[in-house]
Chain A
Amino acid sequence: MMARSLNNRIKTAFFSALLVLAVAYPVLGLKLTTVGIKLEVHGASPAMLWTIAAAAIGMFLWQLLRDRLDGPLSSLPSLPGLPASASSFLTLPSTQRWIILGLIVVGLAWPFFGSRGAVDIATLILIYVMLGLGLNIVVGLAGLLDLGYVGFYAVGAYSYALLSHYYGLGFWTCLPIAGALAALFGFLLGFPVLRLRGDYLAIVTLGFGEIIRILLRNMTELTGGPNGISNIDKPTLFGLSFERRAAEGMQTFHEYFGIAYNGINKVIFLYLVALLLVLLTLFVINRLLRMPIGRAWEALREDEIACRALGMNPTIIKLSAFTLGATFAGFAGSFFAARQGLVTPESFTFIESAIILAIVVLGGMGSQLGIILAAVVMILLPELMREFSEYRMLMFGALMVLMMIWRPQGLLPMQRPHLELKP
């Protein structure tokens, strides 16, 4: 018995080591160098080869001895750096409200002192916060796995881009239209699809996201195909443009207030618009949690059969989550188009859906503060790790794995605002 399990372990360890070699050698051990116009394959430096060998041996030993190592390892604290009481304090709804209030004040004030690049990245983060919050309605609250969320994002972005391009409509007019169109798509997709559950739903939504992207790429006459639509107008402040020169019949911000033109004004304004949209999203979701529909979503996530037995229509309830989630993606999309000034189908690939879903899961399903934090981590980290160049995605992946080991419930798991019966 003992001998056989040892035998098994040696086998596992051997194959694990082999796997390390098989993966690491082609990736790290071979180098492509351009010689003139040709590519040549060279072996890497001996140091690198030794490192690979050491990694393989390390893996072999680890697999061989992991049973014996597991004991002492599992006695280590499972949650480094954050004691349980602090963590539960952080996830209380009342605490979260104060933290969010503080964040709003800081969020409103800091861009006036920050650098242009920082404000720009912050705007990008806010877009993802909005997307994360929207998807959170579908995944975190209603428990429906949606892998095609980026489809609604694309609908929102292209709604604004097309309306602006063909009809010259402004951002603020198009924002509600984009939200409504995305909601319509959510409704239309949800209607037939929400009878499915779990994996099946995930696959259909995944397909939907891809269909939208491919449609956008192939309807060349309307959407410009792979080139997308460019020169989309930026948002205005009550008709005041932030460009250096206003279009005909419009006034610019700096002329109206009699200040010198400064490019950063536009960046800050975009940031503030994004912040406004995020706050709106937060407000709506906060209300939803305390509304009958919010309770119905949670009940449905827990037990669909019991819901049906109580006279609730599961399809309608799911559909409302799906439609609302899509609406926020539509808002985020139209803002994205306005900020970027350019939309192409390649901005809406599956990886975007995956990142948004990762934000929701990383933040702790259903938790709003968690999602804000996760969006900051997910967007900021790759930016900060730029100096590690090609290793940054590797580090990013490692970080995600560690997260799932240490905090599988997410950074700040949700604590729902419970309705209390007061005596």
Chain B
Amino acid sequence: MSRPILEVSGLTMRFGGLLAVNNVALTVQPKQVVSMIGPNGAGKTTVFNCLTGFYQPTGGVILLDDEPIHNLPGHKIARKGVVRTFQNVRLFKEMTAVENLLVAQHRHLNTNFLSGLLKTPDFRRSEKAAMEYAAHWLEQVNLTEVANRPAGTLAYGQQRRLEIARCMMTRPRVLMLDEPAAGLNPRETEDLKALIGMLRDKHDVTVLLIEHDMHLVMSISDHIYVINQGTPLADGTPEQIRNNPDVIKAYLGEA
């Protein structure tokens, strides 16, 4: 097996007396889709928040390509290529869809004050390239028709797709999706599945997924981690997880 792109060990997050995440370990291989499942309140989103620097974990090590990232602030982790979406969509609602994508390219644009003021050729070129890249991704997620509409006015499924496209603007290596299928109808969920597959196969993105839609999780994941009450319960391929008695017990209660 190749070297893991993301390696988490002993991750612990404590809020006062509450142990939200207890000794979680993850190993994510490049270009895999890895899912994290577990009952509500199991601490999955807390793990995401720790990985992306929104929380400072109480303990544990997070290695991205063998480089520790657990002490970095959120925006620095994002710059290293770990980008996330949110459980409740967080678009810039007043800005248009295409502007949302332009903002996300901030790091890759010519932000020199003087060249922007004087509209130098270099600045124009950079803006044009950003626009083209945004247009390309709007097409990928099938939102070209609504490119110039304020993001807040889009349908929910479209907002979800736009959020993923916005993440792709930052050229991520690890894309973390927090319940991307929540609130989608079966048809949209199928589209989402195709989109995630495409990201992995064509754009070499590693996807880390939190999801409750078992059909989606089982059909797309290369590896699954189960977390219950902050503690890792099991991990394995979809087939192994489906037949794991502990997992069945956690989900369905004692028989």
> Which residues does B use to contact A, with CB under 8 Å?
52, 54, 73-76, 78-79, 83-84, 86, 90-96, 98-99, 102-107, 109-111, 113, 116-117, 119, 131, 134-135, 138, 144, 147-148, 166-167, 169-170
B99, closest chain A residue (CB): A419
A298 CA / B150 CA spacing, docked (Å): 13
* A73 interfacial by beta-carbon distance below 8 Å: no
* A259 interfacial by beta-carbon distance below 8 Å: no
| Residues B94 and A302 in contact, CB atoms below 8 Å apart | yes
| Residues B84 and A309 in contact, CB atoms below 8 Å apart | yes
- Of A154-162, A285-293, A336-344, A400-408, the one contacting chain B is A285-293
Q: Can you list 11 A-B contacts (CB < 8 A)?
A: A287-B116, A296-B103, A299-B103, A302-B93, A303-B90, A308-B73, A309-B74, A311-B76, A311-B79, A312-B103, A418-B148
User: What 5 A-B pairs come out closest when comparing CB atoms?
Assistant: A311-B78, A291-B116, A421-B147, A306-B90, A311-B79
Contacts of B111 in A (CB 8 A): 291-293
A418 CA / B75 CA spacing, docked (Å): 26
Q: How far is the CB of B87 from chain A (nearest CB, A)?
A: 12
**Given A302-B92, A302-B94, A305-B90, A295–B102 Cβ distance below 8 Å?**
yes
Q: How far is the CB of B6 from chain A (nearest CB, A)?
A: 16
A195 CA / B119 CA spacing, docked (Å): 32
* A310 interfacial by beta-carbon distance below 8 Å: yes
A296 CA / B109 CA spacing, docked (Å): 12
**Given A310-B170, A311-B170, A295–B99 Cβ distance below 8 Å?**
yes
* A313 interfacial by beta-carbon distance below 8 Å: yes
Contact pick for B103, options A308, A310, A418, CB 8 Å: A310
| Residues A309 and B83 in contact, CB atoms below 8 Å apart | yes
* A40 interfacial by beta-carbon distance below 8 Å: no
* A70 interfacial by beta-carbon distance below 8 Å: no
Contacts of A306 in B (CB 8 A): 86, 90-92
| Residues A299 and B92 in contact, CB atoms below 8 Å apart | yes
Contact-residue bracket for chain A: 20 to 34
A53 CA / B163 CA spacing, docked (Å): 62
| Residues B134 and A298 in contact, CB atoms below 8 Å apart | no
Q: How far is the CB of A272 from chain B (nearest CB, A)?
A: 23
Q: How far is the CB of A326 from chain B (nearest CB, A)?
A: 15
| Residues A292 and B96 in contact, CB atoms below 8 Å apart | no
* A248 interfacial by beta-carbon distance below 8 Å: no
> Which residues does A use to contact B, with CB under 8 Å?
284, 287-288, 290-293, 295-296, 298-299, 302-303, 305-314, 418-421, 423
B100, closest chain A residue (CB): A299
| Residues A292 and B106 in contact, CB atoms below 8 Å apart | yes
Contacts of B119 in A (CB 8 A): 287
Q: How far is the CB of B215 from chain A (nearest CB, A)?
A: 28
Q: In the complex, which of the residues A306, A307, A314 has the most CB atoms of chain B within 10 Å of its own CB atom?
A: A306
**Given A291-B116, A292-B116, A303-B90, A310–B96 Cβ distance below 8 Å?**
no
Contacts of B86 in A (CB 8 A): 305-306, 309
B84, closest chain A residue (CB): A309
| Residues A420 and B148 in contact, CB atoms below 8 Å apart | yes
Contact pick for B98, options A293, A303, A308, A419, CB 8 Å: A419
Q: How far is the CB of A215 from chain B (nearest CB, A)?
A: 30
| Residues A308 and B92 in contact, CB atoms below 8 Å apart | no
B163, closest chain A residue (CB): A306
Contacts of B98 in A (CB 8 A): 419-421
**Given A292-B111, A302-B92, A421-B147, A309–B52 Cβ distance below 8 Å?**
yes
| Residues B106 and A310 in contact, CB atoms below 8 Å apart | yes
Contacts of A288 in B (CB 8 A): 116
Q: In the complex, which of the residues A296, A306, A311 has the most CB atoms of chain B within 10 Å of its own CB atom?
A: A311
| Residues A312 and B106 in contact, CB atoms below 8 Å apart | yes
A418 CA / B103 CA spacing, docked (Å): 13
| Residues B116 and A293 in contact, CB atoms below 8 Å apart | yes
Contact pick for B95, options A291, A298, A313, CB 8 Å: A298
Q: How far is the CB of B103 from chain A (nearest CB, A)?
A: 4
| Residues A302 and B95 in contact, CB atoms below 8 Å apart | yes
B78, closest chain A residue (CB): A311
Contacts of A418 in B (CB 8 A): 96, 99, 148
A292 CA / B105 CA spacing, docked (Å): 9
Contacts of B83 in A (CB 8 A): 309-311
A419 CA / B166 CA spacing, docked (Å): 16
| Residues A296 and B95 in contact, CB atoms below 8 Å apart | no
